[in-house]
Structure 1
């Protein structure tokens, strides 16, 4: 006979808090540490009981806009707490999901009584202040912050080609996946436009969203003066918007302690299951760029945990820094393109407080599940360049089995991984397109094209396409035919980089 789970070992989310700061004057803008405090106090208010004084575990999501020398101590001083577990996170859009999952696991092990996950950014205020040369009267800022940036994550070959930021790397997945799915570029753009419009519609009803505008699907993907192309095929409205001031916090405890405190049952949302895995950090050290084995394994694991059918989820949050990510995820989940993939509004419209978006998504998911009798929600976040993947299952009802302490599915990923192509830096001759993008200047003009190509021996190489090579640029951007698989000639360029030009 199966024994009933101990309420002391059942983790439950009891409080969520968010803040979106739109100061009328720059000097009135709240700094990130203040946004974190506000979010935590609002989460406590949401829980309806005093919890912050009991906080024994605190995780702060990596903060970028105003890096502090010691954010943990600074926030602890503002709250008057010294939690036993205190962690400042590494860079990664999946990190809030991981922090919530790990906080739940500590509660399930009996190592924590009350835990918090919090993060905030004030990029909007910081950026505006820098433009006008204004010194913000905020707490001390780290003089030489040690921050992980795109340049630290890519191969020297990629760096030499100027491909090291998210907006230049995610298009490589976009253009590879659409070809693998048998879509024309036009069809893929249409799918992206309708998907992003649905994200915008959700953001329009989220009081914490940075933008409540709902553009038409066609205007989202169409380049123009107000919606410039950034890296083919992504326009400004198709990429994450980090120019926001936002903070969010999540409070967790055990079911037993929540009951002791008198928290209403309808306030509680339970952590049921989760999974995590990662790809090699260098995107060129991956077998292919048409899918992610790590993403697949993580999503397959959480679907298995709910009975094997993603239709069981009543609410979803599929990470949305760029359209390729949720498009890949919903295909792995086996869901059609009409699915509502967000409860928050997405990083383009709700806003992209850098690493902290999924804390906001968790808050939105909790509010959604509280209003559902048998609600079952999926939070899926990813970080770096389709690198780190973490998913978490939340529910409005208590779990029937204990939260598994072993949530890594990395062994499945490694078993699936194929041969990594040899990367070469010197070559002349024919090579076919594996994937590509065009990097655009602010005025919309092409700065250069970039091709990841394969030799007949299946070696991988990187090459530039000249902005003056109109024939090749037209071949790459034909809306009715993907260039993936098409051949061209590789030669040595004057700039020391390989050059690729189409044969058609």
Structure 2
């Protein structure tokens, strides 16, 4: 069970803003989690045998960390709190990581591999931005000896040379394709769908406005979210800024997981104990392989499996925190749960990624911390955490309660095989001829406004990628509704270019 949770947030407009490193931010989260156990923090730190660390953006690709980094992030953090774990792990890129790792730690504890573990995460995007154009840059370089199980960033599984050539890079444009596909499936106009997205997210901002750990504790109205302005610029159609995860944050968090025996030995009060009742970790097919870009079979199965393992129904859940980097994952999770976006229980405890903050891969660690805190105040109730990674590429679910329960295994391996075996769509990388627009986005975050198209060839219904800077087609994509529009496509050097048919 979880026996300690901690969070920390540093805002750039706070008095005494320090511009902390990822290690320093995680350390503050760890200190808070150690104190939260209710026993001597130093004694708990010495007992931690395994630390799972979530990977920050600055170490998630080939580029060097702008302000330097630790060669062993988890050990740098543990050295600051007096811990020396036998094993430390650095997890790959993916927002599903926090829940996946809590489940992994629980399974290992149940199997007798160790008794005390911790999951840590942080992101220092605010610091990186703050110092980007300053001369007084700090040096966060650290060298720490000791074991490190680095699982690799694995970021390349989220894109390919083909997608990169067609500017399908970065989360906003990738999720824009999914939300526009869903809009088409529902038969909504662009204006209707943008309002529905704002109606889904505006209540989250109310939660963020009251959360002391929020990066942007400001309540937003539906009209404010849908109105494009200098403060709410378009990022990628259909998203203005206030519908996009806020990634330039300084946030850290930690969760401590123990066996019952260890908690009793250390004297952790039982009113701190929160058990993981249900769990599942599912992986989706690659983006362009998916038969339906408006759906997520992996998410549907993960939600159903976690509920099955917990032995409860949706009506038994008191709290939800659904990963909300963009509207699409929230819509999909609500559909899998069979709840509406205006469910009176609410869809977040933090305030959501655009408002509370989106600290890279570690957001859902904050969601778990909030869930644990809420359940301690409401013994016997259940809390649901849905954590999403990649381009709706992986979904991990955790269901928590103070009610004691033996460890239960899930069928994620079997269900992952089911998802992998689902039908796929053939892809033509160098298409030529007539086709239709299956889904699309327009990138405003590049020097030349560019349309990004997923299309289907008339000749064989195969899927292709194309870009466009054609004025007529861009006008349709920005002022009309291009879904299903007839286009022509041709290969040109390394990219495919589209125009109106």
Shared fold per TM-score greater than 0.5: yes
- Residue aligned with 1:201, SS: helix
Structure 2 residue 84 is the aligned partner of structure 1 residue 82: yes
> What's the counterpart of residue 18 of structure 1?
7
Mean alpha-carbon deviation: is it higher for 122-131 or for 315-324?
122-131
2 CA distance for matches of 1:88 and 1:79?
A: 18
* Equivalent in the alignment of 2:147: none
Residue 373 of structure 1: how far off its partner (Å): 2.8
The structure 1 residue matched to 2:392, chosen from 383, 386, 392, is 386
TM-score by length of 1: 0.89
Task: Quickly say closer, same or farther: Cα 1:307–1:272, change in 2 above 3 A.
Answer: closer
Hey, what does 1:28 align to over in structure 2? 18
Judge conservation of contact 1:421–1:460 (CA < 8 Å) in 2. yes
Alignment partner of 1:76: what SS? helix
Cα pair distance change 1:306/1:398, threshold 3 Å: same
Equivalence for 1:218: 223
Q: Name the counterpart of 1:5.
A: none
Structure 2 gaps, min length 5? 59-64, 145-149
2:167, 2:205 → 1: CA distance? 31
Q: Does 1:468 align with 2:462?
A: no
Shift of 1:64: 2.8
How far apart, in 2, do the equivalents of 1:33 and 1:496 lie? Answer: 41
Report what 1:186 is aligned to: 191
Q: 2:131, 2:386 → 1: CA distance? A: 34
Alignment of 1:340-379 (within 5 A): 340-379=346-385
Q: What residue in structure 1 maps to residue 49 of structure 2?
A: 56
SS of residue in 2 equivalent to 1:403: coil
Measure how far apart 1:139 and its partner are. Answer: 3.4
Q: Which residue of structure 2 aligns with residue 6 of structure 1?
A: none
Per-residue displacement from partner, 1:145-186 (whole Å, max 9, x unpaired)? 998586773232221121111111110000001221333322
Could you tell me how far apart the structure 1 residues matched to 2:23 and 2:225 are? 34
Distance 2:56 2:106 in 1: 22
Shift of the alpha carbon at 1:422?
2.7
**Which residue is 1:43 aligned to?**
33
TM-score of the pair, normalised by structure 2? 0.89
CA distance in 2, matches of 1:149, 1:102: 18
Output the CA distance in 2 between the equivalents of 1:414 and 1:428: 31
How far apart are 1:499 and its partner, in Å? 2.9
60-69 or 43-52: bigger deviation: 60-69
- Distance change (3 Å), C-alpha of 1:498 and 1:261: closer
CA contact (8 A) 2:3 2:37 kept: yes
- Does the 8 Å contact 2:454/2:463 carry over to 1? yes
Corresponding residue SS for 1:349 = coil
Task: Give distance in 2, aligned partners of 1:341 and 1:116.
Answer: 26
The correspondence for 1:209, drawn from 214, 217, 226, is 214
Superposed, which structure 2 residues align to 1:169-184 within 5 Å?
A: 169-184=174-189
Pairing 1:42-441 to 2, within 5 Å after superposition: 42-50=32-40, 51-65=44-58, 67-140=69-142, 148=153, 153-280=158-285, 282-307=286-311, 309-339=313-343, 340-399=346-405, 401-404=406-409, 407-408=412-413, 409-415=415-421, 417-429=422-434, 431-441=435-445
What's the secondary structure of 2:36's corresponding residue?
helix
Residue 31 of structure 1, CA deviation: 1.6
Q: CA RMSD in A?
A: 2.5
TM-aligned CA distance change 1:221 to 1:58, over 3 Å: same
